[in-house]
Amino acid sequence: MSSGVTPRLVTFATGLSTPWGLAFLPGGDLLVTQKAGALVIVSANGQSVSAPLAGVPTVDASGQGGLLDVALDPAFATNRLVYLAYSELVGGANGTAVARGTLNAGRTGLDNVQVIFRQAPKKTGTSGHYGSRLVFRGDGTLFVTLGERQSYSTEAQSLGSQLGKVVRIHPDGSIPVDNPFAAQGGLAAAVWTYGHRNPQAAALHPATGELWVAEHG
C-alpha cells in the first residue's frame, strides 16, 4: 500500500570524501568524520566545509576501517569533549579504539586527546567488521559497538574476547561496576551484550531508553 509520500533527493553538502559519522554541534553545525581520517565541521546550511581538524588520532584506513563514528559528551556545553571511534593499527594487528579530546575555542582541532578504550584482542589478516557506533546512555555512560572482526568462530559468544560485543564504559574509559558481567573481571567486565556480527547502527529508544542496534549484513 502506497504511503502517498514521494521521496526527494537533496544534496546538503559537497566536498566530503566517504563521510561515516556525524554529530550536531550547538547552533546546528556538524562534526563529520571522513573514513580516510579527516574530521571536519560542516556549516548548518551545508554551504561550507572546514579544513581537517588537528589532533585526530592516526587511523588504519584500509578495507572497512578508518575514522568512523563521532559523538559529543552529554556535558559538551561545558567541557567541549568530543569522542571518536576508529580502527587502530598496533604492531601489525588492528581493532576498534575510542579516543576523546577537547574541541578548542577556535574549532580548529582537538586538544588533550587520549585513547580511552581499545578492543581486545586485536586481529591480523582482516580489515572489516569494526562496529564502531558511539551512543551515550541517559546515565552518562557510553555504549561502544564492536564487530567480530570477521572472526567466524566462537569469539563473539565468548566473554573472554571483546569481538562481537557491545561494551559500556564511563566517559573516561573506566568500567561501571553494575555492568552485567563486571564481577567476572577481565575483558568480560566491560561487556553489555554479546554474540554480535557487526553492529554498525545504534540508538536509544526515545521512550524506554533501551539500546537498539542493527547488524550489518
Least confident of 3-17, 34-48, 80-94: 3-17
Rounded mean pLDDT of 81-86? 98
pLDDT confidence of residue 3: 77
113-166, pLDDT tens digit by residue? 999 999 999 999 999 999 999 999 999 999 999 999 998 778 999 999 999 999
CB 19 within 8 A of CB 66: no
pLDDT confidence of residue 152: 78
Tell me the pLDDT band of 217, cut-offs 50, 70 and 90. Answer: confident
Q: Flag whether pLDDT at 65 surpasses 70.
A: yes
Backbone angles phi, psi at 126, to 5 degrees: -145, 150
Say which residue the cell 587502530 belongs to. Answer: 88
Q: Flag whether pLDDT at 2 surpasses 80.
A: no
Rounded mean pLDDT of 186-195? 98
Dist. CA 95–CA 88, nearest whole Å: 5
Least confident of 7-11, 36-40, 136-140, 150-154: 150-154
CB 49 within 8 A of CB 20: no
DSSP at 78: H
Q: Flag whether pLDDT at 1 surpasses 80.
A: no
Strand partners, 39: 33
Q: Flag whether pLDDT at 109 surpasses 90.
A: yes
Q: How many alpha carbons fall within 13 Å on the CB side of residue 4?
A: 0
Which segments of 73-194 are extended strands (E)?
Answer: 81-90, 93-103, 110-118, 134-136, 142-146, 165-169, 191-194
Tell me the pLDDT band of 54, cut-offs 50, 70 and 90. Answer: very high
Annotated catalytic sites, by residue? 129
Could you give the 3-state DSSP secondary structure of residue 77? helix
Backbone angles phi, psi at 172, to 5 degrees: -95, 0
Q: What percent of the chain has pLDDT over 90?
A: 95
